[in-house]
Structures are given as structure tokens and as C-alpha cells.
Amino acid sequence: MKRKIELWSIGVVEKSGEREARVNIFPEFSAGLKDVEEFSHLIILYWIHLRDNAEDRKALLVVPRRHTVNAEKGIFACRSPSRPNPIGICVVKLVKVENSILTVEGLDALEDSPIIDIKPYIPRADSIPDANVPDWTWKGPPT
């Protein structure tokens, strides 16, 4: 059963470069950044706004283009930006916090991507050293 849900954009990617990106958190959510600088890494969830269209939301099979595999995979078995809900997730290094601007390294979101959530990266909870993955995932970009 499909249910409609509502998300709030809490900020936007202002500048996305090769190495660093700036994430502007809107003033009404800036209090939520209190003590975020205590973490070296964050998990950023964002809306893949350029894939928010009927065709990309219907895709269930894709060929992972940024990997060496040349076979269709289910979208839930890869990180394709085409998906029913175009939500991106990325672990980033927090470089600095100035007012409500986060400067981060490693963000794979594009400029103007709406930010939908930020969570602290906690190794005890977010790392599973003995996880199993298919061989093709080792050949390609980090995300």
C-alpha cells in the first residue's frame, strides 16, 4: 500500500566542488546543529532533485554506470540515483561549522540539492567491518 509522506527540506547544498562542499542549513533548523562539531563525520541525506521525475521514479532495474559491472541490477541492490524516492545518502568529513553553514568533504550531492536530514556518524553503530558485498562493488567510486 502506497502512503503519501511529507518531507521538509532543512537546507540546501550551496557549493559542491571536487573536494569540499558547503551545506546551508535554514535558520529555523540551525539550533539542531548544536554540538555537531564534536563529530568528525556526518551522514547527509539529500533529495536527488534532478532525478525527481516520473521516468526515474519508475526505474527498478539499472546498470551501475560508475562501476565495472555491465549487468542490470535492482535499484535496491545499488546506489543508482534513479529510484522510487530519490533520496541520496553520503558519509562526509566535517571540516568546519560557521553559523549555519557546514563545510564538508566527500559530499556527492549537486548544488541546489535539498538537504532532508543530517545524522552524526557513530562508528560503533554505523560500521560493520565483516559485512558481505558483491565483488563488483569494490571496483568503482566510494559511493
Domain span holding position 104? 51-123
Give the E-state strand segments of 20-143 in sequence order. Answer: 20-25, 41-47, 61-62, 73-74, 87-98, 101-105, 114-120
Confidence of residue 139 (pLDDT cuts 50, 70, 90): confident
Where is pLDDT greater, at 36 or 3? 36
pLDDT value at residue 38: 98
Residue at 43 is within a domain: no
Total domains present in the chain: 1
pLDDT value at residue 66: 66
Residue at 14 is within a domain: no
pLDDT at 120 over 70: yes
Q: What is the CATH number of the domain that holds 80?
A: 2.40.30.70
pLDDT value at residue 6: 93
Global pTM reads 0.89
Which pLDDT tens digit goes with each residue over 21-56? 999 999 999 999 999 999 999 999 999 999 999 999
pLDDT value at residue 75: 94
